[in-house]
Amino acid sequence: MKMRGLKSGLLVAAGLGLVASAWGAESLQDVMKRRNLSQQDLLAASKTYVPTGKRDEFLAFSSGGQSGQVIVYGIPSMRILKYIGVFTPEPWQGYGFDEESKAVLAGGRIDGHDITWGDTHHPAISETDGKYDGQFLFINDKANPRIAVIDLRDFETKQIVVNPVFKSDHGGAFVSPNTDYIIEASQYAAPLENRKFYPLEEFNEKYRGGVTYWKFDRKEGLIDTKQSFSIELPPYSQDLSDFGKGPSDGWSFTNSFCSERYVGGIEKGRPPYEAGCSAKDTDYLHVINWKKAVELFKQGKTKKINGHDVIMMDTAIKEGILFLIPEAKSPHGVDVTPDGKYIVVAGKLDTHVSVFSFDKIMAAIKAGKFESKDPYGIPVISMQETLHNQVELGLGPLHTQFDSKPCVAYTSLYVDSQVAKWNFCEGKVLDKISVHYNIGHLMTMEGDSTDPKGHYLVALNKLAIDRFNPVGPLHPQNHQLIDISNDKMTLLYDMPIPLGEPHYAVAIAADKLKPGIRYAVGTNSRTDKPSPYGVRAGEEKTTRTGNTVEVWGTAIRSHYTPETIEAEVGDDVIIHMTNLERAEDETHGFTVGTYNVHMSLEPGKTSTVKFKADREGVYPYYCTEFCSALHLEMQGYLLVKPKGWKPEANTTMAKAAYTEDDYKKQLKKIADTQAVIDSVVAYITSTNYKDFPDVVAMVDDAFDQAGKIPDVKAKHEAAAAKKDWENACLWAEQVWQYQVKTADLGLRAKTYLEQNGAKKIK
C-alpha cells in the first residue's frame, strides 16, 4: 500500500461525482401510497420544502423559554438555524466560557449573584418608523428581570441589563416605533426597594408593579441605563405591553391580571392564587403617555429607588400620564393594530376580544370623563365608552396579531386549541382552525409592526402530547405553520421545539437581514471593537509577568501558534487567540482539557480564556471545530510544571530517521499534487466563475492557502541544503498540507460550477 497522491483520487472524483444526479426508482404516486400521504399533505409539503441551497422567506426569532436562549428558524421550512446564547452559558458559541462573553453575562449579575439561566419571554426586533429594520433583537428574562440586546449583524448577545426595581417581569421587550425605548413591565408585585421585606398583609400598601422604559442608543447598539426610567404602578400583576404607533404614537399600553390584589396561601387554608386572582370579571388596561413621561424624567420629577429614576404614581396621576380602563379578565395580549387606531385585548378567561378605540380613549381623557378612580387614585376610563367593538371568538382568547390585509386579525384560543381569524373593524369572525394543542402566543410575519406581511402564521402551542415520536416524559413544544394567504387557513407543518418552551416569537422578511460572515481580524465580537489582544501572523508571543503566563496566539488551518504553553503550578494562565481565517464558515475552536474553558473563533475573532493552572501535569489543547483534513492534528500541550522545575542538561527532542530519499518522495508528491491543482485552476478560470460570488470566495480562500506555500517551501529548501532531512521532509509535508487545503477548495468550487451551470468563457 502506498500513498498514491491526489492525482488518481481526483480522477475518481471527477468521473463518478456527476452521475449521482440520476433519479431514483419510486414515482411520486408510489411514495404517496407507501407513506400514506393525501393530496393535502403533498400540497403542504410543496409549500414548505426548501431545496438544498435555497433560502427561506422569513426568519423567526423565538424566545427559547426556560433555556434562556433565542431560537432562530426559517419559514416556511421550519428548520432551526441557530440557538443564540443569551442568558444561559452555551459552550458551542464559547458563550460564558471566554472572557469577552463572560463580561456580557456579568452585566446580568443580580445583587452579586451569578445568574446562569433565564426564562426568556418576548423577543422584539428593532423598528424604524414602526417597520422592522432587522438591526437588533431584544428579549427579556421573566425569572430574573433583565433585558438582553442581540446584534443581528452577527447574531451575538452584546448586553444584559438588570431591572433595578422589579423582582420579576413579563411584558417586555417591546419597542417604540423608532426603537428609542424598550418597554419592560413587572409581573408579580413586590417592594420596589431591593433587599426589603414587607409582610403580605401590607401587600396593598407596600407591594408595587411598574413599567420601565429603557433608552436604546442605536449608534452604540446598547441600552443607556442612565437615560432609562420606570413608572410605579399598583400591585396588579402587569402583564404584556405594546407601544402605540401612527396616531397612538407616544402612548403605551400594559394589561394586567389579579387586579383583585389577591394573596393566596393554600397551605393556610386560603383559596389558591388561581381562584382569588380570577374572581372578578375585569382587570385593568394601563394607558400611559410615555412621551410625556420622558419629559417628566428629564425634568427630574422622579424618585431614586435603588439608584434608579422612578416616576411615582402620585406624580404620574398629577401630571396626567396614567389611566386605567377595565378589560375582560386575565388577558394576556394587548396588541395595537397596524394603523395604530385600535388596541386589541383578549381576556384569557373570557370568550371575547375587546377592540378599544384610541380616539375614544383620547376623547375621554381630553374631556376628563372618568367613571371612577382605582384605590390608588388613578383615573378609570369607562370600558363601554372606549370600546370600538367586542367579538366573541371562543374559549381562552390570548394573543392577537395582524395580516397584511386591512382589518384582518388572528387570535389564539388557548382552551379551544384554535386560531380565530376575524375582522377587527367590523367585529366578525372569518374562519377558525384547530391547532395541537393549547396555543399560547401566535405570530404572523412582521405581524406586530405597522406593515404586516401576511402569508404565514405560526401557532406557538404549549402542548404537543401525541404529535411526535415520543422522547420521554418531557415533550417538545409544537410550533404549527399555518398558511393564511387564502380565505381559509390551512395547516402546513408541525415543528417540534427541541429545547425550551418558547413564549413568544417574531418573524421578519429574510431579505431585511444583512448579517456579516467575518470580523475584521482581531475583533472583540462582544464590543465590536478591536481587541487589544488581537495579533496577526508572526506577531504571536508568550510572556510571563510574576505568576501570570499570557499568550497572544493565532489559529489557522490547521495549527495554533504556539503549540506549547509552559506554566508552573499555581500560575494564572491567560490565552488570547485570533482566528486568522477570512473564509466563510472557517471557525476554529479552542479548549484546554479539564480547565473548563472554550472558545468559538469565527473568522477574524479574538477571544480570551483565563484559568489557574492549579494542578501539575500535561494538558492537551486542541481545535474543537472540524476545520480541515488535518483538524485532529490541530493540537498543542499546556505543560504545568512543578515550581522551579529545570530540564536536565542535554535533553533533546527525539529525532526521526528521515533520509534524502524521503525528501525526494515528498518533492514528487508535491509536484504531482501541483499538477492536479493546476488542472483544477485551469478548469475554473476557463469558466465564468466570477459570476458566482460563492465560488469567488472559495477561489480567494484557495489562493490564500496556496499563498502560504512559498514561505514554507523556502524552509524545506534551506533544510535540504543543510542536509537536515527531518526538517526538509516535514516542511515539505507542510507544503503538501497547504496543497491539500487548496485542492479541497478548488474541488468544491469546481463541483459548484458544474452543478450550477457555469459557462465556458475560453
The interface with a second copy within residues 441-470 (CB under 8 A) comprises 462-470
Distance CA 334, CA 252 (A): 10
Residue from 300, 307, 368, 472 touching a second copy (CB under 8 A): that is: 472
Q: Which three cell numbers stand for residue 680?
A: 483544477
Q: Which three cell numbers stand for residue 720?
A: 535540504
Query: What is the smallest separation between the CB atom of 222 and a second copy, expressed in angstroms?
Result: 18
Residue 46 near a second copy by CB under 8 A: yes
Query: What is the smallest separation between the CB atom of 300 and a second copy, expressed in angstroms?
Result: 28
- Of 404, 131, 385, 358, the C-alpha closest to 247 is 358
Residue 710 near a second copy by CB under 8 A: no
Residue 74 near a second copy by CB under 8 A: yes
**Phi/psi at 722 (5° precision):** -95, 10
Residue 485 near a second copy by CB under 8 A: yes
Residue from 448, 483, 571, 704 touching a second copy (CB under 8 A): that is: 483
Contact window for a second copy (CB under 8 A) among 219-227, 285-293, 683-691, 728-736: 728-736
- C-beta closer to a second copy: residue 263 or 425: 263
Give one word for 596, left, alpha or beta, with left for phi > 0 and alpha for psi -120 to 50: left
Q: Kindly determine how many residues on this chain lie close enough to bind a second copy according to the rule CB under 8 A.
A: 277
Considering only residues 284-323, where is the footprint of a second copy by CB under 8 A? none
Residue from 474, 649, 757, 762 touching a second copy (CB under 8 A): that is: 474
Tallying the residues shown for the chain, one arrives at 762
Query: What is the smallest separation between the CB atom of 320 and a second copy, expressed in angstroms?
Result: 26
Residues 6+ apart with CB under 8 A from 278: 257, 258, 329, 330, 349
- C-beta closer to a second copy: residue 44 or 336: 44
Query: What is the smallest separation between the CB atom of 407 and a second copy, expressed in angstroms?
Result: 18
660-685 vs 725-755: helix axis angle to the nearest 10?
20
Residue from 181, 214, 414, 683 touching a second copy (CB under 8 A): that is: 414
CB 58 within 8 A of CB 507: yes
- Of 321, 164, 348, 316, the C-alpha closest to 252 is 321
- C-beta closer to a second copy: residue 250 or 496: 496
Distances (CA, A) of 110 to 64, 160, 169: 21, 11, 14
- Of 181, 66, 185, 65, the C-alpha closest to 123 is 65
- C-beta closer to a second copy: residue 293 or 712: 712
Check residue 630 and report its DSSP letter: T
Residue from 316, 334, 413, 699 touching a second copy (CB under 8 A): that is: 413
DSSP string, 677-717: HHHHHHHHHTBTGGG-HHHHHHHHHHHHHHTTHHHHHHHHH
Residue 418 near a second copy by CB under 8 A: yes
Check residue 221 and report its DSSP letter: T
Residue 610 near a second copy by CB under 8 A: no
Contact window for a second copy (CB under 8 A) among 245-253, 297-305, 380-388, 703-711: 380-388
Q: Which three cell numbers stand for residue 597?
A: 474553558
Query: What is the smallest separation between the CB atom of 17 and a second copy, expressed in angstroms?
Result: 5
CB 165 within 8 A of CB 212: yes
Distance CA 581, CA 701 (A): 9
Residue from 350, 403, 448, 704 touching a second copy (CB under 8 A): that is: 350
Binding flags for a second copy, 673-692, as an x/- string (CB under 8 A): --------------------
Distance CA 105, CA 371 (A): 47
Q: How many CB atoms lie within 10 A of CB 402?
A: 26
Distance CA 343, CA 409 (A): 12
Largest CA distance in the chain: 101
Residue 199 near a second copy by CB under 8 A: yes
Residue 563 near a second copy by CB under 8 A: yes
Residue from 311, 458, 505, 730 touching a second copy (CB under 8 A): that is: 730
Distance CA 148, CA 87 (A): 8
Considering only residues 224-243, where is the footprint of a second copy by CB under 8 A? 237, 239
Distance CA 566, CA 761 (A): 55
CB 95 within 8 A of CB 77: no
Tell the residue number behind the cell numbers 390608588, with chain if given. 376
Residue from 179, 241, 412, 438 touching a second copy (CB under 8 A): that is: 438
Distance CA 636, CA 617 (A): 14
Query: What is the smallest separation between the CB atom of 304 and a second copy, expressed in angstroms?
Result: 18
Query: What is the smallest separation between the CB atom of 727 and a second copy, expressed in angstroms?
Result: 7
Residue 696 near a second copy by CB under 8 A: no
Answer whether the bond into residue 558 is a cis peptide, omega within 30°.
Answer: yes
Sign of CA pseudo-dihedral 689, 691, 694, 696: positive
Residue 263 near a second copy by CB under 8 A: yes
- Of 151, 225, 231, the C-alpha closest to 185 is 231
Considering only residues 613-672, where is the footprint of a second copy by CB under 8 A? 615-620, 622, 624-627, 629-630, 632-637, 639-642, 645, 647, 651-654, 656, 658
Residue 212 near a second copy by CB under 8 A: no
Contact window for a second copy (CB under 8 A) among 213-221, 226-234, 355-363, 730-738: 730-738
- C-beta closer to a second copy: residue 84 or 321: 84
- Of 411, 418, 433, 414, the C-alpha closest to 487 is 433
Query: What is the smallest separation between the CB atom of 231 and a second copy, expressed in angstroms?
Result: 20
Query: What is the smallest separation between the CB atom of 96 and a second copy, expressed in angstroms?
Result: 8
Residues 6+ apart with CB under 8 A from 707: none
Residue from 218, 225, 246, 264 touching a second copy (CB under 8 A): that is: 264
Query: What is the smallest separation between the CB atom of 623 and a second copy, expressed in angstroms?
Result: 10
- C-beta closer to a second copy: residue 329 or 341: 329
Residue 114 near a second copy by CB under 8 A: yes
Query: What is the smallest separation between the CB atom of 129 and a second copy, expressed in angstroms?
Result: 25
Considering only residues 144-163, where is the footprint of a second copy by CB under 8 A? 144-145, 153-156
Residue 509 near a second copy by CB under 8 A: no
Residue from 247, 377, 406, 516 touching a second copy (CB under 8 A): that is: 516
Q: Which three cell numbers stand for residue 707?
A: 499563498
Residue from 132, 207, 214, 323 touching a second copy (CB under 8 A): that is: 207
Three-class SS state of 377: coil
